[in-house]
Amino acid sequence: MLDDLKSSKRIAGTKQVLKAIGRRSLKCVYIAADADEYLIDKLKSACQEAEIPVIEAESMTELGKACGIDVGSACAGIVKS
């Protein structure tokens, strides 16, 4: 599933993802299982309100690598085309 992040236009990072959720410009959002619980709740709530599917990633490290960045990421989203 994380392969979609490698081949699609994506964004990473909580601030950017939350803004994109607000604009309803994402197909789906990936959230790392080991992210801070407060962030997970905030992201899931925003996605539910915007009717954007959530996919759980195993870890922040794995999600960061899938996005092609050298650091972990709590979340990432695939941008609608």
CATH number assigned to the domain comprising residue 18: 3.30.1330.30
**Interval 54-70 mean pLDDT:** 95
pTM for this predicted structure: 0.95
Question: For 38, phi and psi rounded to 5 degrees?
Answer: -60, -45
Number of independent structural domains in the chain: 1
Q: Is the pLDDT of residue 29 over 80?
A: yes
Residue 2: predicted pLDDT:
84
CA 8, CA 78: separation in Å to the nearest integer?
Answer: 7
> Above 90 in pLDDT, residue 20?
yes
Full residue range of the structural domain in which residue 29 is found: 3-79
pLDDT at position 81: 83
